[in-house]
Amino acid sequence: MRAGHAVDLAVVNGRAVLPGQGTVEADLWVRAGRIVGIVSPGTPVQATDTLDVAGLTVLPGAIDAHIHMGSDITMAKTHEEVTGETASAIAGGVTTVLAYLMSAQPYEDLFPDAVRVMEEHSACDFGFHFCIGTQHQLDELPAYVRDLGVSSFKFFMNFKGEEGKYLNLPSNDDGFLWQLLERSVGIGAMVNPHAENIELVWHLREAARAAGGPDLVAWNNARPPIVEAEAEARAGMFAEVLDASMYAVHCSSKLALDALRARRATHDGIFIETCPHYLLLDQEAGIGTYGKVNPPLRTAADREALWQAVADGNVDVVGSDHVPRHKSAKEKDIWSASAGFPGIETLLPLLLSEGHVRRNIPLERIVEVVATRPAQLFGLAPRKGAISVGADADLAIVDFGRATTFSGPRMRSAAAYTPYEGLEVAVAITHTILGGRVVVRDGQVTGGGGGRYLHRSRSGRAALAALSGGAAEARRGGGA
Ligand SMILES: [Zn+2]
């Protein structure tokens, strides 16, 4: 045997989902953390470790492009805040997370500590998005991209007046959003607006409160789809006029989806994210304040429209919008309970079970929305997001013959609950591999730490252009 055929890890006898090829029986060879061979089953190799995954399906590790960390959700600051949430990630087959740092402080001051605590304790690889709210942060945008490797920026369109105070974020307006979009162009950046028209909410919420009714119906009535759709339309029109890339986070309603699709028909810089809860849950979910989230859970018709968009390619990415605040923050009345809930551990199983098994969406399409497309849009491809030679050996291994019943107390998040309590899904994540290391084995988390910071020098259309440029170069014979 040639020395070149000695590998660190061989993942053998599985069915792997490969880009452009679908599900293929293949052995995967890993050396120095990367995939170095995708070969016919049984091809001889000298491997230090062999993982036999006969009967199982091998996917690229999921990328959760939308999470929040820390008990105050602004950023993780302690060991405890990192270990639980990232253990939850790998238990759910997520090998890369993109966390939102949300502060009015200069990010150049916060960034070193944010990276350090994650590098010391994170069980998965990670990158950041920054939430931009001050003039200083706006002025530093090019340095954030170039020096810190953060190329996607959140903006809360609803933080007017006192609305951002709970996160210590200042009041903003459409002029600020315009400047953020304007400055994102030419530096390879993308803007991720949280789209809600808060002035409309101020008008509508008193009537919703007075009308009462079930908690989640009242919450939806206070911030109905028009609140979201009008803001998406406005931000999308700004992006089109300025020729900027925009990533519509957590699209929750058919009305907002239609507004974004209309914009996308004339501007190819619009990208759409939805979340598992907008696909799985609605205002009739019967989970009370545990289901409070912004934008709110909608109706069954909205869920159907979003599933359709996942299937037909109109949704680019499904991210969890994971919020790790403890259960007790939800156990209040609907108007004072905190918004958001954990979702990092349930993201991939829900999409596989409810999307693929129950709705027949092809497995390759599920892999696109939860791995390949987020990698492409956030500057992580070709290192992340697909099983291909040269990519990081990040894998999620799935048993479609075994069910899982979700139980919040058994999950690893500090939140200690799940909005899907008691739900049985038709899959189990059996193994997770991060950079060639088996970090979940037979459903047990075995690896902590080892997560690496991912410097992302471009996002959005700039990232896609760099990828297609690279592919063209490879076709001309320059590539490996
Ligand atoms: Zn979020």
Q: What is the per-residue pLDDT across 304-317, written as a single tens digit (0 to 9) for each?
A: 999 999 999 999 99
User: In the predicted model, what is the mean pLDDT of residues 82-92?
Assistant: 97
What spatial distance separates the first Cα and last Cα of the chain, rounded to whole Å? 23
* Residue 1 domain-assigned (yes or no): no
User: Mean pLDDT over residues 62-85, rounded?
Assistant: 94
Give domain status of residue 330, yes or no: yes
Kindly state whether residue 235 falls inside one of the protein's structural domains. Answer: yes
What confidence tens digit (pLDDT) does each residue in 374-422 have? 999 999 999 999 999 999 999 999 999 999 999 999 999 999 999 999 9
Cα angle: 73, vertex 310, 66; to 5 degrees: 15
Instruction: Look at residue 292 and tell me if it is in a domain.
Output: yes
Task: Label residues 308-342 b or e (16+ Cβ within 10 Å = b).
Answer: ebbbeebbbbbbbbbbbbebebbeeebeebbbbbb
Q: What is the pLDDT of residue 459?
A: 98
Q: Is residue 180 part of a domain?
A: yes
Kindly give the distance from the C-alpha atom of residue 187 to the centroid of ligand 1, in angstroms, as a whole number: 24
Q: Ligand 1 centre and the CA of 66: distance in Å?
A: 6
Residue 50's alpha-carbon distances to 12, 47, 95, 438, in angstroms, are 7, 6, 20, 11
Q: How far is the CA of 194 from the centre of ligand 1 (A)?
A: 8
Cβ-Cβ contacts under 8 Å for 439 (sequence gap 6 or more): 90, 123, 432, 433, 445, 446, 447, 450
What pLDDT score does 473 carry? 61
Min mean pLDDT across 7-11, 361-365, 446-450 is at 446-450
Total domains in the fold of the chain: 1
Span 123-139, mean pLDDT? 97
What is the pTM assigned to this prediction?
0.96
Residue 476's pLDDT is 59
Residue 477 above 70 pLDDT? Answer: no
Cα of 340 from ligand 1 centre, angstroms: 8
211 domain-assigned: yes
Residue 200 CA to ligand 1 centre (angstroms)? 21
Read off the pLDDT of each residue in 118-139 and give the average, rounded to a whole number. 97
Residue 391 contacts residue 34 (beta carbons within 8 Å): yes
Percent of the chain with pLDDT over 90: 92
- Domain at 238, CATH number: 3.20.20.140
Query: What pLDDT score does 166 carry?
Result: 82
Report the pLDDT averaged over residues 170-193.
96
Q: Specify if 165 maps to a domain.
A: yes
For residue 282, what are the domain limits? 59-392+454-464
- 480 pLDDT exceeds 50? no
pLDDT digit string (tens) for 266-296? Answer: 999 999 999 999 999 999 999 999 999 999 9
pLDDT at 178 over 90: yes
Q: Positive or negative CA dihedral for 260, 263, 264, 267?
A: negative
Task: Check pLDDT > 70 for residue 244.
Answer: yes
Inside any domain, residue 341: yes
How far, in Å, from the CA of 433 to the mean position of ligand 1? 26
Q: State in Å: Cα 347 to ligand 1 middle.
A: 14
**85 Cα–ligand 1 center, Å:** 15
The per-residue pLDDT for 5 is 72
pLDDT in the model for residue 478: 41
339: DSSP letter: P
